[in-house]
Amino acid sequence: MRNRLVKISLIPSLVLVANVAWAAPELSVEQGTYKFGTVTQGKKVQHSFKIRNSGDAPLQIKKIEVSCGCTAAKPSTSTIQPGKSAQIDVVFDSTEFGGKVLKSVTMLTNAGKTPSYTFNMEGTVSEELQVTPRQLSLGSVTPGVAKLVTINVTNNGNNSIRLIAVNVNSNTLQIKSTIGKSELKPGETGSVNLSIVGKSESKILSGYVHIVTSSAKKKEITVPVYGTLAK
């Protein structure tokens, strides 16, 4: 009889231990991707991602990692109690970007099933001055033979812009430039024409073309140039 009583008295303790062992935080995210549409270059995009602890133990936010220095993220709290909610405030600075953009923020927690979760912000950054191409690939360059290439600049802003000058930085390329159209009204496209010759003593060719403008937002446009010297 005594042995039977001992066995019965152990059952509540075993149930309690089992409940404690299985208690764990769980992460629930309302919406993991934010599409901000189209913004003007230089604007800061702000968004708050809502999260919830759907588990039965405190959820700890251990670390938040961003994809680049252009993005900042901060949680409203580092500990979320069971059944409670919080938010991750994210700011993306579009100053150095143009075209389609995808930025990510990864959060590391002590959640049982999904300890790591990545939030995304995506959209399009409209540049006041749009450059095509963004970089010049010359391919194989014959020594002493000039390659003629063109850089187009489109004014997407509301005011006229002037292309003031073109500066070149390269130890392996000889680059001569002419500005086809210096005054660009809103919606107009101008061109910078380049004559590029590779120096015979260099195997790998590289350099930069700097276009100086009157734009307050984009005073200088930098276009990388690269190629290889033909044998």
Residues 108-155: pLDDT tens digits?
999 999 999 999 999 999 888 989 999 999 999 998 899 999 999 999
Encode pLDDT of 175-207 as tens digits.
999 999 899 999 999 999 999 999 888 788 999
Report whether 203 contacts 194 (CB < 8 A): no
Q: How close are the terminal C-alpha atoms of the chain, in Å?
A: 99
The predicted structure's pLDDT at residue 54: 96
At residue 116, the 3 state secondary structure works out as strand
| Encoded tokens for 143 | 């020594």
Structure confidence by residue, pLDDT tens digits, 3-20: 444 444 444 544 444 444
Output the CA torsion sign for 211, 164, 218, 69.
Answer: positive
**Mean pLDDT lowest among 95-99, 211-215, 218-222:** 95-99
Residue 36 confidence (pLDDT) above 50: yes
For residues 213 and 164, the answer to whether their CB atoms sit within 8 Å is yes
Taking 60 as the threshold, does the pLDDT of residue 208 lie above it? yes
**Tokens encoding 10:** 């152990």
- pLDDT at residue number 30: 92
Whether 81 has a pLDDT exceeding 60, the answer reads yes
pLDDT tens sequence across 87-105: 999 999 998 888 899 999 9
Q: Using a cut of 0.75, tell me whether the model's pTM lies above it.
A: no
| 163-175 b/e (C-beta count within 10 Å ≥ 16 → b) | beebebebebbeb
Is the pLDDT assigned to residue 34 strictly greater than 80?
yes
